Structure 1
Amino acid sequence: MSSLDLHPEHTALVAIDLQQGILARQLGPHSAADVLANSVRLANTVRAKGGLVVWVRVDLAGILSLPADASTAPPKGSPPPPASASELSPELGRQGADVVVTKRQWGAFYGTDLEQHLRRNGIRSLIMSGIATNFGVESTARGAFDRAYELVFAEDAMTSLSAEAHAFVIANIFPRMGRVRSTAEVVKALQEA
């Protein structure tokens, strides 16, 4: 396993969908509280070392909904989710220099200004966290990989709708795109940089 050679001033935390309507769901293998706490720990460390913090939220009322055999969209005719479901958790401790990106699909690059924020801040490495591992996190990571960003996946700062779905991506997809580490390992690498 290679060491994490991070340059904090060129690193961003990209935290996916840590918002009230998603944090309230049944998740696994890590609880919403653990993912939230680990993401906040990462954000505080990235900020302290001169990096960028990006909070990505999905507009649940405006999310792309196409015909699918196993759609994740609410059933047709059901009331739209309340606006509060799309609001980032207040426990994130957002700071003035943090960036908030709103997406309307799984990935955070298409149709948003995420890449513009990253390029303008000289970002080359992304630390990924959030919910769900195999939806928003994976889709955003694939977009980042295609754009040649170096990726670090904080395994215990992300979770999914099932432990099995999370484990598959962690074992089979993310190691081919970047480096999978614990929050503690990522924090240590940033602090030692």
Structure 2
Amino acid sequence: MKTNTQSAAPSSTQEQEPLLEWNKTALVVIDLQGWTKGVEYAPYSSETVVARAAELAERFREKGAFVALVHVSSRDFRDIPKPRLDASPPPMNLEEGWDDFLPGLGRAESDHVVVKKQWGAFHGTDLDLQLRRRGLDTIVLCGIASGIGVDTTAREAFHHGYRIIFAIDAMTGFTLAEHEHVRDFIFPRIGRIRTTEEILQVK
């Protein structure tokens, strides 16, 4: 079993190829917004995830690569799904500024903002359109929460044919079990798992 920050072992073919090409890769940051404040996560705190996501975003900007900041937002919540549930949804801090990006993320004017109404960042948004028009075929994913917004977006990206790289220590779950489940059983089957540092080291 891999540790929390251990990346999947690359195949011999992958070792011969660069992890990513900057001109074909986008960084997609999921839900690093006000409602995450004061919520407990595992294995990493929201502060740690924001700091690592900010490092990735800065590196992508330096390379002239595409950065998409995704958040949930609504004026009246009438456009947010309201399914009948067997379990209560995770806690959300819906005080003023709940949908604002966290300051530590260091949002830049060049970043593309994606507003979503559900877990995944593709359905009902322009994310796929923006990626395809720029000729991008790979996305690096990070954010909150590992087993909800990140996982759903990853599955959507997989269905759309994108290559996925998971910045595994720049995301976190509502529980450790949630994070470890997608890390160990889902993500390796639809993409590649790497640490923030491994992604930052790409030339």
TM-score (norm 1): 0.90
Matched, 1:115 2:128: yes
Describe the SS at the equivalent of 1:173.
Answer: helix
User: Is the contact made by 1:145 and 1:177 (CA closer than 8 Å) also made in structure 2?
Assistant: yes
Matched, 1:68 2:68: no
Residue in 1 aligned with 2:26? 12
Distance 2:82 2:117 in 1: 9
Residue in 1 aligned with 2:5? none
**5+ long unaligned stretches in structure 2:** 1-8
Tell me how far 1:21 sits from its aligned partner.
0.7
- Residues 20-169 of structure 1: pairs in structure 2 closer than 5 A: 20-59=34-73, 62=77, 63-72=80-89, 81-169=94-182
Distance 1:113 1:132 in 2: 21
Distance 2:23 2:96 in 1: 34
Amino acid at match of 1:157: A
Tell me how far 1:83 sits from its aligned partner.
4.3
Aligned length: 185
Describe the SS at the equivalent of 2:122.
Answer: coil
TM-score (norm 2): 0.86
Describe the SS at the equivalent of 1:37.
Answer: helix
Which string of whole-angstrom CA distances, capped at 9 and with x for unpartnered residues, describes residues 148-177 of structure 1?
100000010000101111011001100001
User: Is the contact made by 2:142 and 2:168 (CA closer than 8 Å) also made in structure 1?
Assistant: yes
Amino acid at match of 1:50: G
Tell me how far 1:81 sits from its aligned partner.
2.7
Matched, 1:186 2:186: no
Runs of 4+ in structure 1 displaced over 3 angstroms? none
The root-mean-square deviation of aligned C-alpha atoms, in Å, is: 1.7
Describe the SS at the equivalent of 1:134.
Answer: helix
**5+ long unaligned stretches in structure 1:** 75-79
Which string of whole-angstrom CA distances, capped at 9 and with x for unpartnered residues, describes residues 43-98 of structure 1?
11111112100000012663312101114177xxxxx9334111111221111110
- Say which is worse superposed, 111-120 or 56-65, in terms of deviation: 56-65
